[in-house]
Structure 1
């Protein structure tokens, strides 16, 4: 397959364009700084801004046995990038053909296809089979008419913001750090599936949420959360875990109890925002003890979310 055939799915642009490339999982503060630089450079050059977005992380292709989870699905990433003001958000599928391209071949294809005049990369980003970063591209690329610009990392609480660091924070139950790095509460979207209705039986009807993509799920425990459904936001207490009071080998579930809500949520699409982790998941000796603790969890959730 020729390089021109490989990029045939990309709609040609007249140019000039300033572009960046990445998965942009979560579109966190570091991504936002990178995208702002793309827009600023495009404005200075009278160019259009372009973001090439991998729908799936390249490492999912390179190491298919690796379990990969995401902070946001592709549709959400595309929506956020469009809202930020990127002129063209282009889906790019990582493949063995792309993997084999050298950095010069890749850049040359973009120049020919979209009139690329500048490529802007985030910290540590490398392209091509030769794994070229901004310094190498600037020094050795045959495309001397193209500017290569690197954007430094954004630091939060002494740590460089990255999707991997955010995922670690989430699976550790550290909602606060994840929110700081994302610039918003971490959220999971999904459809409400039919559950075993144990919550309803003890006075706490819950929505059993099934994410529609391989989402990064927080550590097992109880969380103060916000639920958006049908355009309205509701306070909620959410349990993630295996329901050890009832089962010894149950599957992992995400169950949200919406405070002061009376309605049917089955089959509806919810967006669940995580604000803070209240406690770990516990196996109680009786249902009565569980209900007593759940009442405390709900009251604590009300206090935490009082201003939301």
Structure 2
């Protein structure tokens, strides 16, 4: 399920590969379309398995053995209990709306190996006040079954894994209606079966300052209606929008995702990316190109359905 090294399967430098839909026009509706691809002879998907936003998977209804229970009625309870607990702690968030202290920089700072599990209906809400949900440099943090919304990260910054720490696993999560990027990425990060929708700039910004980002897996996600703040209009020519932006990523598997109705490019690998496998995705009804692989190297692009983009 991880990264498989591929060498010289396809090279695209310094030119960009932009895959545009061959039929129809861009949908201007904010209502996401149902996946509607027609399978090709090569077996490209006709529908996406990644319909995860409408019916997200439910988390555990009861606290797992040994987990620390987090109370939504106590403001800042998750941040405080994370701070006071040792590494490798599992936190179970009760149903309800969890909040942080009303300071723009209030956030959860995990320790190595911490896990965060949301019960059915558990939401972490920034209330349009907090910039970041999860930050810090802790490795191997897991977030599952949790909705994260209402945070106001600045341009090019992210709400979840703000510092692009390594080894994070994001599964069955909903990251929606935030400013900036819903999610940043670190080395060996896995993002699976999650809903990244309606974020102000990107669903995910795969970039790590000062170091190459390696071994990224993006699988089975619904990535929809991002760039609600219309950054290309606010900063013409910025090239800073789309469903997912990859920058200087060395090794990524991007497969089985439904990338649709983003206000810009669907998937954009922009500069010094290497060794990508992009397969079995449905890329449709994005306002820009379905896929741009720009000034980057060594990609396998196969068995994707591309419809009604641009």
TM-score band, normalised by shorter chain:
under 0.3
Q: Which has the higher helix share?
A: 1
Of structures 1 and 2, the one scoring higher in RCO (CA 8 A, sep 6+) is 2
Q: Report the TM-score, using the length of structure 2 for normalisation.
A: 0.23
Q: Report the TM-score, using the length of structure 1 for normalisation.
A: 0.23
The structure number with the bigger radius of gyration is 1
Q: Which has the higher strand share?
A: 2
